[in-house]
Chain A
Amino acid sequence: MSQRLLRGPALALCYVVAFWSGFFVMGIELLGGRILAPNFGSSIYVWGALITVFMLALSLGYLAGGRYSLHNPTLSRLGVLLGVAALTALPVLPLAGTPLENLSIHITDPRFGSLSAAVLLFFIPTFFSGMVSPYCVRLLVDAEESSGRRAGQLYFVSTFGSATGTLLTSFYLVLWFEVNTILLAMIVLSLALAVLSLLFNGRRA
């Protein structure tokens, strides 16, 4: 088993990234309901489609993240994953207008319409968000016997982040800000954390 890859603040940053990634995913999922509603309504199908796409993208992201961690895992590469997830969420803003309306005209079935819309808008950023957690595990694990404990801590932090993102977005953020403002702020925060990860990695080397 190799030496632990991170220590001190870099180690803490890894947890922060996992927390934030969990927050980001659920924040976007909840805003997704509002983004789809004008064209697809708020029926149970819309929520079913959204949750399906997020779960599917996360599950494939986990696979890819684990695989990506096999080759020279570094904190800066973790930052890149977070940054890519944020940047691929940016097209949600322009796509939410006319393109979604056109999609709803072409696919009139409420189930497959909202499913296609959710794939178009949210699959790619959620896939990259899903890569974050397994990649973090690789950075945190220093010995075979503590690997389960580290993985447990990471699940805790990232799922706790998801819970926080769900609660804050649905109870407070939508009461204070516009949907696009919240989305942009989350993207900016992700990018800031990504840059921070790149900087920390540089310092360690």
Chain B
Amino acid sequence: MKKFLLLLPLALLLAAPAARAQLVHSEKSLYREVLVYEENGERCMCFTRQCRIGRQSCIFLSDPHRFALNYTRMMLGGMLFTGPAPQRVLIVGLGGGSIPKALREILPQAQIDVAEIDPAVTRVARRFFGFKEDPKMKVIELDGRVYVKRAIRSGVKYDAILLDAFDHEYIPEHLLTREFLAEVKSLLTPQGVVVGNTFSSSKLYDHESTTYADVFGTFFNLKAANRVIVARPAGLPDEASLRARAQEYEKVLSTFGVDAQSVLPMFTTRPDWDVKARVLTDQYSPANLLNH
């Protein structure tokens, strides 16, 4: 018996647990370890072992074209249904590149710029997730905030800006402040739209909501496991024009496995947060401490 007890830790170390995701690739970067796992026909990019703290991006191996994560349809729908067809799009945070890849197909005329701080993420997206740069779609290796400031100075404007730089483990706090959102707002064309992939739980939800409301006023709040905020300084469209645009994109979205109609009921402007929560600023931005 005693011998068995001694062997037990060893057995635990050596025995491979059943139904574990298989590690396909791992790459150390300046910021983290970028991991690629495969399980049940899906391939995912993760920043933690066994994807313990969320998945950054996933594709179906049998059909890489179809969206595997729910929030991507919320972000695309949020952006496409709210404003006129964008000519120039900025995406902050590349991940596996599902959203830029889809946008490149849906809006073949549009110029797509992606700000991604971590070159390892870009490498893995190219090698394992079918992300390809071309003259109409380029990745800029820079901190999102630094890029936004430079873009403002260079005078470029975007019709749509998608903020997708957060994961569940760590939030770049300077990308979730009133000052940053004001900079993003000033980078928009008059009809421009901002879409932010953010958090649906924790105390941060309240603070993030009041911060967006402070800069943009009323916004669409799409909620599932993730939460997607859609804001537009020129004002939000009414239900009829949302529905009309959804119809316009219905066919092309269905090729990604997205039912445009299923996104429509998610558009709501009703505040379900503490409207008195303190607004996050460059001076006060404990986003990671609030995200528990």
A205 at the interface (CB under 8 A from B): no
Instruction: Give the complex CA separation of A104 and B147 in angstroms.
Output: 11
Given the known inter-chain contacts A43-B117, A104-B146, please indicate yes or no for A38 contacting B282, CB distance below 8 A.
yes
Contact of B174 among A42, A104, A171, A178 (CB under 8 A): A42
Decide: A38 and B173 in contact? CB cutoff 8 A.
no
B285 contact set on A, CB distance < 8 A: 34, 174
Instruction: Name the residue of chain A whose CB is nearest to the CB of B31.
Output: A44
A39 to B145, CA, bound (A): 7
Q: Mark B122-146, 1 if CB is under 8 A from A, else 0.
A: 0000000000000000000011111
CA distance A133 to B146 in the complex (A): 38
Q: Decide if A66 is an interface residue (CB 8 Å cutoff).
A: no
Smallest CB gap from A41: residue in B: B143
Whether B153 lies near A105 (C-beta < 8 A) is yes
State how many residues of chain B have any CB contact under 8 Å with chain A: 25
B283 at the interface (CB under 8 A from A): yes
**Contact A174–B174 (Cβ < 8 Å):** no
Of the candidates A34, A40, A105, A171, which one forms a contact with B289 in the assembled complex, judged by CB atoms under 8 Å apart?
A: A171
Q: Are A42 and B143 in contact (CB under 8 A)?
A: yes
Q: When chains A and B are docked, how far (Å) is the Cα of A40 from the Cα of B143?
A: 8
A153 interface residue (CB < 8 Å to B): no
Given contacts A34-B282, A110-B143, A110-B146, contact A42 B179 (CB under 8 A): no
Say yes or no: is B30 at the interface (Cβ < 8 Å to chain A): yes
- CB-based contact B289/A37 at 8 Å: no
Q: Is the CB of B283 within 8 A of A42?
A: no
Residues of B within 8 A of A105 (CB): 153
Given contacts A110-B146, A179-B283, contact A42 B289 (CB under 8 A): no
A146 at the interface (CB under 8 A from B): no
**In the complex, chain A residues whose CB is within 8 Å of the CB of B30:** 43-44
Chain A contacts for B290, CB-based, 8 A = 175
Nearest CB in chain A to that of B145: its residue: A41
Bound state CA distance, A177 and B284, in angstroms?
Answer: 7
Task: Indicate if the CB atoms of A41 and B284 lie closer than 8 Å.
Answer: no
Does A52 reach chain B (CB closer than 8 Å)?
no
* Cβ contacts A165-186/B at 8 Å (1 or 0 each): 0000001001101111100000
Which chain A residue has the least Cβ–Cβ distance from B180? A38
B237 within 8 A of A: no
Chain B residues, CB < 8 A from A42: 143, 172-174
A164 CB → nearest B CB, Å: 18
The answer to whether the Cβ of B25 comes within 8 Å of any Cβ in the partner chain is no
- Known A34-B173, A105-B153: A40·B146 in contact at CB below 8 Å: yes
By the criterion CB–CB under 8 Å, are B174 and A41 in contact?
yes
Please give, as numbers and ranges, the residues of chain B lying within 8 Å of A174 by CB-CB distance.
284-286, 289
- B residues in contact with A179, CB < 8 Å: 282-284
Q: Which among A38, A39, A171, A178 has the greatest number of chain B C-beta atoms within 10 A?
A: A38
Given contacts A38-B174, A39-B149, A42-B173, contact A178 B143 (CB under 8 A): no
CA distance A101 to B179 in the complex (A): 13
CB neighbours (8 Å) of A101 from chain B are: 149
- 0/1 string, A93-108, CB within 8 A of B gives 1: 0000000010011001
Is A175 in contact with B289, judged by CB distance below 8 angstroms? yes
Q: In the complex, what residues of A have CB within 8 A of residue B144's CB?
A: 41
Which residues of A sit under 8 angstroms from B284, Cβ to Cβ? Answer: 174, 177-179
Instruction: Specify the chain B residue showing the minimal Cβ separation from A178.
Output: B283
Q: State in angstroms the CA–CA spacing of A196 and B15 once bound together.
A: 64
B142, B145, B150, B289: the one contacting A38 at CB < 8 Å is B145
Q: Most chain-A Cβ atoms within 10 A of its Cβ — which of B142, B143, B289? A: B143
- Interface set, chain B 90-120, CB cutoff 8 A to A: 117
Q: Which A residues are CB-close (under 8 A) to B283? A: 178-181
Q: Which residue of A lies closest to B285 (CB)?
A: A34
A181 cross-chain contacts in B, Cβ below 8 A: 283
User: Is A41's CB under 8 angstroms from B153's CB?
Assistant: no
Once bound together, how far apart are the Cα atoms of A181 and B281, in whole Å? 13
| Mask of A149-166 contacts with B, CB within 8 angstroms, 1/0 | 000000000000000000
Going nearest first, the 7 A-B pairs with the smallest beta carbon separation are A41-B143, A37-B174, A178-B283, A175-B286, A41-B146, A44-B30, A179-B283
- New A-B contacts (10) at CB < 8 Å, excluding given A104-B149, A174-B286: A34-B282, A37-B173, A41-B146, A42-B174, A101-B149, A110-B146, A171-B289, A175-B289, A175-B290, A181-B283
Taking Cβ atoms with an 8 Å cutoff, the residues of A that contact B are: 34, 37-44, 101, 104-105, 108, 110, 171, 174-175, 177-181
